[in-house]
Structure 1
Amino acid sequence: MPLSLPTPGRYVSFDPAAEINGDSVRAVLAGLFLPHQGRDLLIRHGLPAPPVPGQWYPMQAWLNILAEAEDRFGAGTLYQTGLLMVDNGVFPTGMPTLLEALAALDGVYNANVRGRHMGYYRAHASGPREVRMERCTPHPQEFELGVITGLARRYKPAEAVRLAVEVDRRVPPEGLYKTTFHISW
C-alpha cells in the first residue's frame, strides 16, 4: 500500500501510528456527495474503496484525504461532510441535553480513532443558553465545525428558536488543531 505524504504544516496526525476505523471513513465519505472523487481520493492515498467496516486504516492517510478534498472542493465541502457525518455515523442516541451530546463527542472520537494522544473534545456550559466546545484534534477546523453543528442541530433544546454554532473568536486558536466553538440558542 503506498504511503501518503502529509501536506507540510497541515493536518498531521499527533501519533504517526494512529489509525481510524473504516466505519468512520465510510460515514464521512457518504457526506461528500462525490462518489467517484471520493473513491479516487481513497485509492490515491492508499485506502481501499470502499473502506471495510471494522477495519483500521492509517490516520495520516485519512487526514491527507481531507486536506486534498479541501484543496480541490473547498472548505465548504469539509463543513458539509462533517455536518452529514452526524447523520451517517454512529452517535449517541437519547441524550437528554445538548451539553451531554457534545460532551459525548470525546468518547465517540476515541472509539473511532486509536493512537497515543490523539486529541480531545471538551464541552461545558458557559451560560444559561450557551455551550463552549474546545477541540484539539488533527482534523480540519471546517470539518469539525460541521460535526459540532450537526450534533447541535440533532440535540437542539426544545425551547431553542435560533441555534448558532461558530468559532469563538474571543479565544485565539492554537495552530490548526486547537479551536473553541461557541454554541448558543
Structure 2
Amino acid sequence: MSVLLPAAGRYISFDPLAEINGDSVRAVLTGVFLPHQCREMMGRHGLPALPRPGQWYPMQAWLNLLAEIEQQFGPRTLYQTGLLMVDHGVFPTGMPTLLAALQALDGVYQTNVRGVRMGYYRASEVAARELRMERCTPHPVEFEHGVVTGLARRYKPAGAVRLSVDLDPSGPAEGLYKNSFRVTW
C-alpha cells in the first residue's frame, strides 16, 4: 500500500540523531484507538510494532508517525493520543500542585528524549488560577495540548470546578515548535 505523506516532513527533530524511549512510543499504541493501523504506520516509519521499554528509537521516525496519525485521523486524534499518554506513559506521581506537575514535565521530556538541544517545557504562575506552560519541542501542537491537558486533569487544583487548557495567544508563537498554553480554573 502506498501512502502519501506530505506531512511526514512537517515535524522535524531539532537533532537528526535524537532518539525517543520505547516507553513513550509504546504509549502511542494505547492513545490511538486503531492499534492495528497504528502498528502498520509504525512499520512504515521503521518503528517496531511492539517497541521495547528501555530501547531507543529515532526521534524523526516518531515525529513522522505522529504526522501520519494527524494526516490519517486528524488533529483530534493527536490530542487524544497526548491526553492518554499521561495515563499510559511514565509521568510523575504525587505532585503537590498542578504547577509542580507542569514544571516536572521538562524533566520527564529530558528523560524520555535524548539528543542535543531537543527543546523544553517551562511552567509558571501568571495569576491566581492561571498558569502558563511554554513549550518548544518538535512535537505537533495538538499532541502537546493533549499532554498538558492530561496533566492538568490529573493534578486539578482542589476546589476547581472548571479547568481549561487553551493555546495562549499572548505567549510566544514561533511556527510549529514554540508556543504556550494557558491553564485556568
CA apart distance, 1:171: 2.5
Distance 2:49 2:8 in 1: 25
CA apart distance, 1:141: 0.0
**Aligned residue in 1 for 2:141:** 141
Distance 2:28 2:160 in 1: 28
**Aligned residue in 2 for 1:161:** 161
CA apart distance, 1:76: 0.2
Distance 1:70 1:8 in 2: 10
Stretches of 4+ aligned residues off by more than 2 angstroms: 5-9
Q: Look up the equivalent residue of 1:34 and give its one-letter code.
A: L
**Aligned residue in 2 for 1:45:** 45
RMSD value, Cα: 1.3
**Aligned residue in 2 for 1:130:** 130
Identity rate, percent: 73
**Aligned residue in 2 for 1:33:** 33
Distance 1:110 1:97 in 2: 21
Residues 31/8 of structure 1: CA separation in 2 closer, same or farther (3 Å cut) = closer
Q: Look up the equivalent residue of 1:27 and give its one-letter code.
A: A
Q: Look up the equivalent residue of 1:114 and give its one-letter code.
A: R
SS of 2:47 mapped into structure 1: coil
* Contact 1:31–1:82, Cα closer than 8 Å, also in 2: yes
Distance 2:132 2:173 in 1: 14
CA apart distance, 1:149: 0.1
Residues 37/27 of structure 1: CA separation in 2 closer, same or farther (3 Å cut) = same
**Aligned residue in 2 for 1:115:** 115
Q: Look up the equivalent residue of 2:144 and give its one-letter code.
A: E
Q: Where does structure 2 lack aligned partners over 5 or more consecutive residues? A: none
Q: Is 1:10 the equivalent of 2:10? A: yes
**Aligned residue in 1 for 2:74:** 74
Q: Look up the equivalent residue of 1:153 and give its one-letter code.
A: R
**Aligned residue in 2 for 1:183:** 183
SS of 1:17 mapped into structure 2: coil
Q: Look up the equivalent residue of 1:130 and give its one-letter code.
A: E
Q: Look up the equivalent residue of 2:67 and give its one-letter code.
A: A
Equivalent residue pairs, number: 181
Distance 2:7 2:37 in 1: 19
Q: Look up the equivalent residue of 2:133 and give its one-letter code.
A: M
* TM-score normalised by structure 2 residue count: 0.95
Distance 1:184 1:134 in 2: 14
* TM-score normalised by structure 1 residue count: 0.95
Distance 2:36 2:8 in 1: 26
**Aligned residue in 2 for 1:20:** 20
